[in-house]
Chain A
């Protein structure tokens, strides 16, 4: 009978070969039990140590210990390898084609008017302005009279007004412009005032490709000491460049609005060398400042206004602005 170290050496060779041939984690577990378990050869050799003479016991014990470590290492190495294979097999089994998306989560779409409106608000907030609001049903006083258009003023005919069955006939209107918010702001805030007021406005008009009886405007109002017409021109140029790009420029042409003087229309340059009429503006008329409780000798100001629908039409190349209120989902989904 060979010595224990000799037996151990051949056992290790046999065991490592057996372990490496295990092809599944189950097989490996069985081999582990065979070679390292309670009934394994190495276990019985270990048990036989106590029968050895004391002088041999130490060498035999060391040989058994090393063999055990070698086998355990082999098991562990094989386990890692087999576990990787096994995981891979499981992962392969759950392979997905990531283009098979069904029932995707929905995302809603923000109306183009809101997009433009919020964009304008953000530009002016960045310039230090606040955003003011007002009612859509207005009194004749806010919509006309306080804006330097007393009853019977010929300029009232510039607006095709929708009157409402509230109060005395023709005293309550759907606001024809966002300008009443100027007066409301002046009456509730002390100068300096730097504000914009976006909102719905109404006119007695038949809906067609370029007109709607309901549309959207944004109004701007600045009142401070020493505000000039040049400040107006410069502010308009600044926001147009912010909105349309640095290469755009603006020009002001004399015009008429009862609530501003001097008044102007403002145009922006187009890439093809032409001009696009965008809105109206001017220095706040002294009578309007007075109606707002502000002394025109102490303060001056400018105001401007333009159509948001019109801007949306230009920006998104809308062929028919009625799409803005028809709410066809195929239209809305484009934004």
Chain B
């Protein structure tokens, strides 16, 4: 919302005495966030009226001429000028030496191709007075050389406030709404004008008929009839105000309608009454399939929830509150108009404008809520401005006032409650003094206040709304700053939250960096990655590339690796903890789970297992076990499921080389996916400290030849539990050779033997070794010869 200082001051004259910056700050303090203050008139300092005395070609430049001007002292002053639209005797604006132009440029004495220029002649656009930049601005002949331009043009300094309004303040979409709030803030008077307008001719009631058939749709309807209309250009002052407030002047009638909308917040519409069949307006809901050509020339089909205005023939001539029809539009030949201002049901207008994709200044106001009691004043204001252009107002208003409008029954406000919520100590009288000027008229009612709800504040319906009004006008900055006493509460992270941090810290220590890809994928991505495709999709994506929600952290991480590879970063290790989504088992359900993905460029599947093992171990869960499996999206012979304590917790392997190659990743990509919900469900291993043996250990290495079909960890597990003296068994080396045979490999395991309670004997060691070889033999493993 753009609003002018001068316009505000018409309704709250006291505001004229306040500096625009102070007013801007006050607006923000009231919740009418002022983003920018633009000043007018102030930047014409140094610009004077000058008379052209002589024009001569520049001796050394074709595109510049030498202009001698009289800047008020009667002496010729030479200016070099690139424009040729002026004649001797013309009055033009001259920027004198030292002037700062609106653009910020400083005017100094300069030499242009050997000729001095003692200032600059200005175009309208250079002075930001007009958009015309085709030549130097030629001034009215009555001006006197030497007078300041602002004086010559009678420019009053003004300021424009750019407000970023919240949807609860439709009242502030008008000059009077902003002026009312500001007047209350500054303690100055606020007045709405009263209108006493001359009328003549037949009464309005005899010239037109209004038939409101749907009082839910149309709460209020007011109409006036005006004749002797001339559709022309608006006066400068009105056109300037509209332009500054962001509206393009169109013609005198449309401009007045817009002016009144900005001023009172009431949109209005004018019909060329001679084009309305039977001069009758019928307000009803549309019939399915009814058509209308709107003012913008588009033909639109209507549905029964749309509100319309129809004529005496029941043909639709306007979409209520959204846009008028082309058939009854004002034109250059229009002489009689019917002006209407209505209150339309906000959600109905909102639905229609959204459905048709038609959002106008009018519809957005109706949607947010117009003051249902302002139509009569707005129509009078319209008539007043139209009369000034020669129009005649017919006596009488056509009014429909029987429709539904929001309930405005006064409410009870408890001052104790107000202070309890604000942490304040505001007296009841003070509260009333904040409320009265903004229409929340408050009267004492026992210990409480009975507060009227103003018709222009549809957002305010209950006590809490009044609390906010009191806080606003008391000033947020005057309310205190305290901290609630913690009352002995302990703050803490949950165990899962601590576990997530631990996992991140472990991965960081392992050299893996955290990524945060967005969860959006393009259609076909899941298929391309070969992973589950029963995804949840966005029904209204801005771009289709971001319409599918990921079913795994894999695509986001691998795409990140691809982007890094394209930028020549190789060996990149990334992890992510985040939610993934899929369609649920039922038609109207979905799944959402927390996942940890680790993508390791240049790392093979067995190394990837080590990362999974480390993370799970750092979380205190039972040691990870792998079981070879074919897993969607992964290398078919280098993938395994992960379990901990017998529970499936994820998968490990390498990303399918078809996928990485297609993405231009030259390295193998090791992959770990942990289902964090499943992992965190597994109880942590209970730690009870075992005594540390004081007796000497004995180490032995066994090179065992084992069939490829048996996993290494099966052998290691068997060795670990082969004999009570075995305290540790780890895989130490893997060796394959032709000599060994095609289907086998040699696995060297390091084994430590130790007794908790004695020094082992040679017999102990022999017996343990025999047990180890025996369990190995049971798996088909023999000592390598």
- Residues of A at the B interface (CB closer than 8 Å) are 105-111, 113-114, 118, 121, 124-131, 135-137, 152, 154-155, 157-158, 161-170, 172, 174, 192, 194, 200, 204-206, 212-214, 222, 224, 226-231, 233-235, 237-238, 251-256, 261-265, 283, 285-286, 300, 324-330, 332-333
Contact = CB atoms under 8 A, between A and B. Distances in A.
Interface stretch (B293-301, B483-491, B643-651): B483-491
B588 interface: yes
Contact of A253 (B33, B346, B481): B33
Interface stretch (B11-19, B23-31, B196-204, B667-675): B23-31
Nearest to B578: A200
18 contacts: A108-B514, A111-B513, A128-B486, A136-B581, A157-B167, A164-B590, A165-B538, A174-B538, A206-B543, A213-B520, A213-B542, A224-B487, A227-B484, A228-B482, A327-B517, A327-B574, A329-B513, A329-B564
A261 B468 contact: yes
Contacts of A286: 462, 464
A333 B501 CA distance: 19
A193 B370 CA distance: 39
Interface in B358-374: 367-368
Given A229-B421, A229-B422, A231-B483, A154 B511 contact: no
A262 B471 contact: yes
A194 B485 CA distance: 11
Interface stretch (B1-9, B89-97, B492-500, B767-775): B492-500
A228 B351 CA distance: 38
A124 B492 CA distance: 9
Interface in B474-530: 476-477, 479-484, 486-487, 489-494, 497, 501, 504, 507-520
A327 B515 contact: yes
B327 interface: no
Given A251-B477, A264-B476, A332-B515, 19 more contacts: A108-B511, A111-B515, A111-B516, A114-B504, A155-B168, A157-B167, A163-B539, A204-B541, A205-B542, A206-B542, A230-B424, A254-B468, A261-B464, A283-B467, A300-B420, A324-B516, A327-B564, A330-B567, A332-B514
B573 interface: yes
B540 interface: yes
Interface residues of B, number: 89
Contacts of B579: 135-136, 200
B78 to A, nearest CB: 45
Contacts of A333: 513
B719 interface: no
Given A109-B513, A228-B423, A261-B467, A164 B508 contact: no
Contacts of A128: 486, 489-491
B492 A130 contact: yes
A107 B511 contact: yes
A137 B551 CA distance: 13
Contacts of A131: 493-494, 497
A194 B30 CA distance: 29
- Classify the secondary structure of A's interface with B: mixed
Contacts of A222: 484
A167 to B, nearest CB: 4
Given A154-B167, A158-B167, A164 B538 contact: yes
B481 A125 contact: no
Given A152-B350, A252-B476, A261-B467, A212 B518 contact: yes
A286 B464 CA distance: 8
A127 B491 contact: yes
Nearest to A132: B494
B166 interface: yes
Contact of A263 (B468, B492, B515, B560): B468
B618 interface: no
B516 A254 contact: no
Nearest to A167: B588
A153 to B, nearest CB: 9
Contacts of A127: 486, 491
A251 B518 CA distance: 34
Interface string B409-421: 0000000000011
Contacts of A235: 483-484
B143 to A, nearest CB: 43
A330 B569 CA distance: 8
Contact of A262 (B28, B467, B563, B567): B467
B302 interface: no
Nearest to B468: A262
Contacts of B573: 106, 108
B494 A109 contact: no
Top 3 closest A-B pairs, CB basis?
A106-B511, A228-B423, A254-B31
